[in-house]
A = this chain, B = another copy of it.
């Protein structure tokens, strides 16, 4: 779509398919499979083989005619491309149901994400330790972001609180926001916003079920 600055123009669609391939490839790697063709991968997901090849092209891994791609090579290349071989620190704001689920998710480290601190404005939550991380008062958020130079902000507050918290984050220098609240956010160009809105996902299900009858 938009949002990429220079030449490495990779579509958001491709970007979202890469983790799908990766998960499968890691399973194949664990099974000891050495090579896999675009045809095989495509069959797993009901994609088109050409599309798979185009997607994998962005990682730089080249395949061999009649053989396919090296599984181990693809795994490394995709992880590198996605930035999952390095660590991206993040702060989380809103230690409610969703916030706690994210804080408790061990596998984020596999995806290069490291939640270093959590914040809440509810004094009853502050001070408690949630999954080994202390919950800090919201007031300390700006200073913390500036001091630790953390780039990612995870937003798990109620919708009406989302924009004010985002403004705090932006003022403190956050570069990317992962938003779970069903609220339209205003952010300046240059900052990446990714909405993990479950309601959007749900819309696909409920509308299909509705129009099927």
Query: Which A positions have Cβ atoms within 8 angstroms of B?
Result: 2-5, 8, 10, 12, 15-16, 18-20, 23-24, 44-46, 81-84, 86, 88, 97-98, 100-101, 104-105, 107-108, 111-113, 151-152, 159, 175-176, 178, 182-184, 192, 194-212
Q: Which of B107, B198, B202, B207 contacts A81 (CB 8 A)?
A: B207
Q: A19-B197, A108-B202, A111-B199 are in contact. List 17 more A-B contacts (CB 8 A).
A: A2-B46, A15-B203, A15-B207, A16-B201, A19-B200, A19-B203, A23-B183, A44-B184, A45-B184, A81-B210, A82-B207, A84-B206, A97-B105, A107-B182, A176-B205, A178-B205, A192-B204
Q: Which of B84, B159, B194 contacts A201 (CB 8 A)?
A: B194
